[in-house]
Structure 1
Amino acid sequence: MFFYRTLISFLQDDEYRDLLITTIMIVLVGTLTYHYLEGWSIVDSLYFSVVTLTTIGYGDFAPKTDGGKLFTVLYIIIGIGMILSFINTIQHHYTHMRYKERKEILRKKLKRESKTSS
């Protein structure tokens, strides 16, 4: 339940939503570029884009064309910063939501205790 509340509040914030859209666009650009330059399927291109941006780098795919190699260099330089920013933002939002939830639980607990002691 907490996950869904966090996700909904994340998507309702314009700044977070814009970051999510930008991240999706970066992955989409990489997917389409690899599909075009390397001739890979959309699924393989998406897979390689995500593996590259998250710095996992399994090594099962690698660009063979000069265009694909040059694009990968630029894609890594630009994309990794965006992905790290996105992951950091999600972590920050999640931590903030947990803090708010714990604060509310504590507030309710203190309110109950003050009623019983009165």
Structure 2
Amino acid sequence: MVSFALTLLRFFRALRRAWRDSLFRSSFYLLLIILFSGTMFYATVEGFRYLDAFYFSVVTLTTLGYGGLHPETDAGKIFTVFYLFTGMGIAITVVTRLGRAMYHEPVRKHRDH
């Protein structure tokens, strides 16, 4: 139990460090928007319960794909393809920046070219 508490504490400290990074913050907000839009789409178009729609959105973006839920409409299948390509990169950015903060790597300033 102590180990879990220390891990959780380390996670929240890393989250606080990562939050200072503008790329992390913007990617995190974008990820929330993508998860919300995926949840709303699957609940509306596929008829999933909201919890199932959120679960499916997360499982899809993390590419776990347990297979219990899946889109059955053509619109759902097409949306899922675009949802994966759009959301996966953003989810990877959030996780990578958070991982760097956990190991105290210096955050490189994001430059617009």
TM normalised by structure 2 equals: 0.77
Instruction: Tell me the distance in 2 between the aligned counterparts of 1:5 and 1:90.
Output: 10
Structure 1: distance between partners of 2:38 and 2:15: 25
Query: Once the 2 structures are TM-superposed, how far is the Cα of residue 88 of structure 1 from its aligned partner?
Result: 1.1
The aligned amino acid for 1:80 is: M
For 1:34 and 1:69, locate their aligned partners in 2 and report how far apart those are by CA, in whole Å.
10
Name the amino acid aligned to 1:47: Y
Cα drift, residue 6 of structure 1: 2.1
For structure 1, which segment, 1-10 or 81-90, has the greater mean C-alpha deviation from structure 2 after superposition?
Answer: 1-10
Figure out how many residues of one structure are paired with residues of the other and give that number.
Answer: 98
Question: What's the % identity of the aligned pairs?
Answer: 37
Per the alignment, residue 41 of structure 1 pairs with 49
For structure 1, the 5+ residue unaligned runs are 100-118
Cα RMSD of the aligned pairs, angstroms, is 1.7
> Which of these residues, 81, 84, 88, is aligned with residue 80 of structure 1?
88
Aligned equivalent of 1:61: 69
Residues 85 and 15 of structure 1: is their aligned pair in 2 closer, same or farther, counting only changes over 3 Å? Answer: closer
In structure 2, give the amino acid aligned to 1:35: A
Match of residue 3 from structure 1 = 11
1:3 shift after superposition: 3.2
* Higher Rg: 1
TM-score norm. by structure 1 comes to 0.74
Tell me the amino acid that sits aligned with residue 33 of structure 2: M
Mapped to 2, the partners of 1:90 and 1:8 lie a distance apart of 9
CA distance, structure 1, for counterparts of residue 92 and residue 12 of structure 2: 22
Once superposed, which parts of structure 1, at least 4 consecutive aligned residues long, lie more than 6 Å away? none
Which residue of structure 2 lines up, in the alignment, with residue 22 of structure 1?
Answer: 30
Query: Which piece of structure 1 moves more, 80-89 or 11-20?
Result: 11-20
- Which amino acid in structure 1 is aligned with residue 73 of structure 2? T
Higher relative contact order (CA 8 A, sep 6+): 2
Q: Give the structure with the higher percent helix.
A: 1
